[in-house]
Amino acid sequence: MRQPDSGLAAAIAQVARQITDATDIRLKLKLDQSPPSLPAEIEYNLVRIAQEAISNSMKHSGARTIEVCLRCTPGLVRLSVHDDGAGFAEEANGRAPGHYGLTGMKERARHIGAEFQLATGIGKGTTICLLLPDWRSASG
């Protein structure tokens, strides 16, 4: 799949590569073209959420592979970041002192009207997923 030259997908690809370039981590990008009508504020927040999720994987998971997916269908944008790292107990939910990455991602998701999903477990890796239904009403 050809990577786009501009827009949300290109911004996510650029951030992902910048974070993982000097590492041994395998980066897999599966990025659809973003809808042309996606507001800049929503794109900005989606890129920052992807950036935080990838950074968290790099810092905390011990992952060998990080996969970033962007799927855009009529009325729905789905962004996910999955790693094959250590995972963590979901009960902890990122509440360790000094760790605010998950909280920030959740706040950004709420701000743009997206549903934030977290799937993880000890030894099972971590997946962060955002579902943004009909962004046209979320952009106000």
Give pTM, 2 decimals.
Answer: 0.86
Tens digit of pLDDT per residue, the chain (140 long)?
A: 444 456 899 999 999 999 999 899 999 999 998 777 889 999 999 999 999 999 999 988 899 999 999 999 888 999 999 999 998 886 655 555 455 788 999 999 999 999 999 999 898 999 999 999 976 654 44
Map out the domains of the chain with their CATH numbers. 8-19+26-138 (3.30.565.10)
Q: Is 75 left (phi over 0), alpha (psi -120 to 50) or beta?
A: left
What is the Cα gyration radius of the chain? 14
Per the CB < 8 A criterion, the answer to whether 26 and 44 are in contact is no
Helix axes 40-56, 8-20, angle to 10 degrees: 20
Of residues 95, 113, 91, 92, the one with CA closest to residue 103:
95
Beta-carbon contacts of residue 71 (< 8 Å; ≥ 6 apart): 32, 77, 78
